[in-house]
Structure 1
Amino acid sequence: MASINSNFLKLKAGYLFPEIARRVKAFSDANPDKSAKIIRCGIGDVTEPLPAAVRAAMHEAIDEMGVRETFKGYGPEQGYEFLRQAIVDNQFANLGISADEVF
């Protein structure tokens, strides 16, 4: 019979996606009227086909990854500033939300 390495038992919980799932469930249970509006950007499959604008942006991003001058590796932990600003400009412009509040 196989035994568990005792060091495995010392690992602390903290894997990101189960924690996100736990928090989303808690929020959804407490706010059933708002749970349908949650935009799930975590691990898993998408639920709808990607729109043409998303596909075009992905193609453009792939092309950028093929050129040294525009290549991007892993981004900052809070996301790229240009992307966070674009999210604010396109989604939250009238709400007084700033890019440093988007992560």
Structure 2
Amino acid sequence: MAHVNENYLKLPGNYLFATIAKKVEAYSKAHPEANIIRLGIGDVTRPLAPAIIDAMHKAVDEMGKAETFRGYGPEQGYDFLRQAIIDGDYKKRGIDLELDEVFVGDGAKTDVACIQEIFGDDLKFAVADPVYPVYL
């Protein structure tokens, strides 16, 4: 029978961004004259840069045509993307990587949630505090 790992029950039951929102609200009430720059979830201050907008338009156009539509990528990510990561992020810093040393996942949440599966259930691990809430 499946059961919950008891160590998860020891983790605090807070959501970082909800805690931040409560603190900001309390501070705002106590200091109504304060000009607060909010950096919480979905609270952006500047529009997208033109280069990003152009790239997104090109990607949408590409995905809108049968001959250039890609759908879901391969398990490790498209080769062209993995090579661009190597060239743009590593080679220029003097780090040589092979294509099979880079993978593109669907996001850190999945990776962090799944990484525990490779460890034995008798091992201890730490979770940073504060941490992005989904990691808890």
TM-score between the two structures when normalised by the length of structure 1: 0.49
Larger radius of gyration: 2
Give the TM-score of the pair, scaled to structure 2: 0.39
Q: Which has the higher contact order (CA 8 A, sep 6+)?
A: 2
